[in-house]
A and B are shown apart, each in its own frame.
Chain A
Amino acid sequence: MRRIANKQVINNVLLEASAKDKDIVVLCSDSRGSGSMTSFAEERPEQFIEVGIAEQNLVSMSAGLASCGKKPFAVSPASFLSTRSMEQAKVDVAYSHMNVKLIGISGGVSYGALGMTHHSANDIATMASIPNMRVYLPSDRFQTEKLMRALLQDHEPAYIRIGRSAVEDVYTEENVPFVMDKATVVHEGSDVTIIACGEMVKAAQEAAELLKGKGISVRVLDMYCVKPMDEAAVLRAARETKTIVTIEEHTKYGGLGAQVSQIVAANVPVRVVNMTLPDEPVITGGSKEVFAHYGLDAQGIVRKVMELV
């Protein structure tokens, strides 16, 4: 089976669910193509709303729809959704407590050569800082599907960040362990724990295998639920392994690593090292090139862990 992008999975799940649930509504900001929402728009025209290039209106309209019992999914590039319409997310969605799911597509550095205007290396920080807002970064297509099905069952606000292109699988069709708001143990180990989210989980998984060959036992946690974070899993890692490395497609401010560090420092102080994008406009290039440049790949993780143990 050809791997599909996580955003395509979202389209497919919503298309399927919306056949029965007429309250599901998808809103786009001239982003149906980039969001892989074209087939939803074509097959469910009565449940699709085009807002045009107006992210503030996109989010507030979604809140208005939700207040009338609709289940809106606002699909827009993560860069714009998480900053330009941050206040709408804060006031109309989270503070007003509306059942709006914000889908940030082409997140992180997915837009590569388009530059910093289109990168969202700070979306965890902006969205997680809003009370009532949850933040999810699924790692592959299988987990994205599980997450979407779980989100369809609740009525709370959430922000979901996914990348632009198809990514390598972390899980397999037959084996997708998933418990909502609990980290998934991707690899068991006892020397070091790597806590990752989104596209970095695959790199962590590969690094764990490479490190095994070097005699280092690595635990990998897929912390797709960045908020609410699975604190128990973090604390278990702190108690059971000597060192924690976090890795994310985000700056060091207010992201996964910052949160893990806070939890660990307050409870079971062990060494935590955050692997992140730098606090500067990142170099342009495809995601893989950008990740390699900053050491945010399996090789980079291996180097970092070897330094630490």
Chain B
Amino acid sequence: MDLRMKACDIRTDIVEIIHRAGTGHIGGDLSVTDILVDLYYKQMNVAPDKAADRERDRFVLSKGHSVEALYAVLADRGFFPKEDLLTYAQPGSKYIGHPNNKVNGIEMNTGSLGHGLSVGVGMALAGRMDKKKYRVYVVLGDGEMEEGSVWEAVTAGGHYKLDNLTAFVDRNRLQISGPTEEIMTQDKQEDRWAAFGWNVLSIPGNDIEAVDDAVELAKHIKNKPTVIIANTTKGCGVSFMENQVGWHHRVPTDQEYEQAIQELAQRRMQYAQDSE
């Protein structure tokens, strides 16, 4: 299937999950979707029956609040039954509002920002020590770049020249209180990472082909970790959510839900026609 169509399906699932449960971080889910789809349907060596395989690629969702997007992808890839997500955010469910490794396919518990890249650095070092071929992928938010601990990890990734590590910055230019540039300047991400010794790729992050090309390119860069600055649109795929700070974690009304599902179906139809 055209991965663009898959991304529409995942976005539809995300909107459904959040509408049904009445909670979730919908804006960032929709901006990060294309990255997750490329990784989980094309690039990463992961499979439900190999969740403990030492050779598997590792993924850490450092911007853990986008967990609904990850749930949608993991369920669709068969890591757990889709019906499990009916319990999302219900009392006692393991499908909570941030990733935790009781869920099949999730490596690390995240949610507090600024931890995931350090974890990824540890995973990449372990792979190097064990002479394993696996790659490590970490997705950070652009608001998350305000956490000082991220820069400890960026420093170490560059120092240890971890070419088996690829980081993404989901650069949707918004965070919970407003535009990143108003909250705390985050411009020149490319220069910042490059200064720490990283290979930097800056791409349109909701263009799945561009994401795929960048991930592919990163695999062939030696002696440097790669960061992909994914310039994305928060709320991508649902017109009235796009670039709207209020949709950081608003829950769609029934009417908004219907409209969102319709828009995503239309978009999917267009892609289906394209690929014929």
Contact = CB atoms under 8 A, between A and B. Distances in A.
A65 B123 contact: yes
A61 B156 contact: yes
Nearest to B118: A60
Nearest to A87: B112
B119 A70 contact: no
Contact of A95 (B54, B109, B156): B109
B129 interface: yes
A91 B99 CA distance: 11
Contact of B149 (A47, A60, A66): A60
Contacts of B75: none
B42 to A, nearest CB: 23
Interface in B85-138: 100-101, 107-112, 114-115, 118-127, 129-130
A47 B119 CA distance: 17
A234 to B, nearest CB: 33
B109 A91 contact: yes
Interface string B10-23: 00000000000000
A56 B58 CA distance: 21
Interface string A66-78: 1111101000000
Task: Give the interface size bracket for B toward A.
Answer: 20 to 34
A52 B127 CA distance: 21
A70 B156 CA distance: 18
A89 to B, nearest CB: 11
Interface string B225-250: 00000000000000000000000000
- Give the 3 A-B residue pairs with the shortest CB-CB distance, closest first: A64-B122, A60-B118, A68-B126
Interface of A: 25, 46-47, 49, 51-52, 54, 56-57, 60-70, 72, 87-88, 91-92, 95-97
Interface of B: 54, 58, 100-101, 107-112, 114-115, 118-127, 129-130, 148-149, 152-153, 155-156, 159
8 contacts: A52-B159, A60-B149, A62-B122, A63-B108, A65-B126, A67-B107, A87-B112, A91-B111
